[in-house]
Amino acid sequence: MASFNRETLCIKIQTEDFDLTTEISALRQDHKNIGAVVSFVGTVRDMNEGDEVSVLELEHYAGMTEKSLEKIRLEAHQRWSLEASMIIHRVGKLLPSDQIVLVAVASQHRENAFHAAHFIMDYLKTNAPFWKKETLPNGDVRWVDSRVSDQEAAQRWAV
């Protein structure tokens, strides 16, 4: 298991899988006043646009992606009273049902945690620089475009 410190806790881009229990424990460490932790774990779907998906490959631009995620995370802290938050996003080749993303938020009260987690996920889907490529069972490869529904979800948070 990786050791945790404040510098590596908030944003992680990694190829390896993550353990929800371990990550939530690290998030809560040293925060005795937490009354709520909300987490979202996204997984790779086996279908997209009516086609079966064999492999999802994620690419990112190192440095730029982390900065983008940190900006989203800090904006959530500005909007809601939060004690801690983290974003873990995997890159590389993933199979259907693999975990792809973890957003976890801790606050004194559940409403703040629910709203912040929802906001972070919506903004991550639309503003974080990840590129997704799907491989279909017949070997065809296609890039995944952003969805209109993701753009609409992010718009609900516009100020």
Tokens of 23: 């990550």
- Are β-strands 36-43 and 99-107 bridged in parallel, bridged antiparallel, or unpaired? antiparallel
- What tens digit of pLDDT does each residue of 108-157 get? 999 999 999 999 999 999 999 999 999 999 999 999 987 777 778 778 88
Q: In the structure encoding, which two tokens stand for residue 33, read together?
A: 């006043």
Instruction: Tell me how far apart the alpha carbons of residues 125 and 147 are, in angstroms, rounded to a whole number.
Output: 9
What digits encode the pLDDT tens for the residues 54-76? 999 999 999 999 999 999 999 99
Rg of the chain over CA atoms, in angstroms?
16
Report CA-CA distances (Å) from 23 to 3, 72, 87.
11, 19, 10
What pLDDT band is residue 103 in, cutting at 50, 70 and 90? very high
pTM: 0.90
The confidence score (pLDDT) of residue 9 equals: 61
> Cα–Cα distance between 79 and 74 in angstroms, integer?
9
Q: What are 1-23's pLDDT values in tens digits?
A: 333 334 446 999 999 999 999 99
The whole-number pLDDT of residue 146 equals 77
